[in-house]
Amino acid sequence: MKFIYLLTLSLYFVGCQKDSNSKNNPTNGSYAFSINLEGKSHSWTGGIPAPSETGQCAYVPSTTATLSMAIGTQPNLQFAFVGIIPLGIGSYKIDKNSNPAEKGIGGNITSQNEIFTIGDNNIVTITIDKIANNKNGEVSGTIVGSITIINSKTLSSRDANINGSFRACKMH
């Protein structure tokens, strides 16, 4: 069941096309994230996410908003925080009692065959400090808490601390 849930979360990773007609298209480096996971820093910086780009930091507002972060180079880190920001600016808690259809976290480090999820002892807090009104505007905030990392080959698991910050591109 956990595998199906993680597979569903992976579908939330977005790749949106660049709006070349906008006068407000930020240059590369306008969007970024810096995540510390198990004492290792993972970061990305770039422009508006596009299908041909290898990395992204995107916020897709909808009934269940999605914040996704990805690095296209090794270790090919990807996160998806699903349904965490339906109400706007504030702090949102994701734990084992969160409804998977409304709130969740998923991700992977493909080079290490590891996937992320929320286990029994995990809580992740997402704090949103800013949400721009316009498309391609900035959504910024922080992430702090713990997640469960599962090795998809050995099925071993461990808890890991996660913290960081982001400046995501608002995609709609």
pLDDT tens, per residue, the chain with 172 residues? 343 333 333 333 333 333 333 344 444 458 999 999 888 888 888 888 876 566 788 888 876 777 888 887 555 778 777 665 556 788 888 888 876 656 677 788 877 888 888 888 899 998 989 988 888 999 999 999 999 999 989 999 999 999 999 999 998 8
Can you give the pLDDT at residue 14? 35
Tokens of 72: 């296209």
What is the C-alpha to C-alpha distance for residues 119 and 117, in angstroms, rounded to an integer? 6
> Model pTM?
0.76
Can you give the pLDDT at residue 151? 92
105 touches 81 (CB < 8 A): yes
Maximal CA-CA distance, the chain: 50
What's the N-to-C CA distance of the chain in angstroms?
Answer: 32
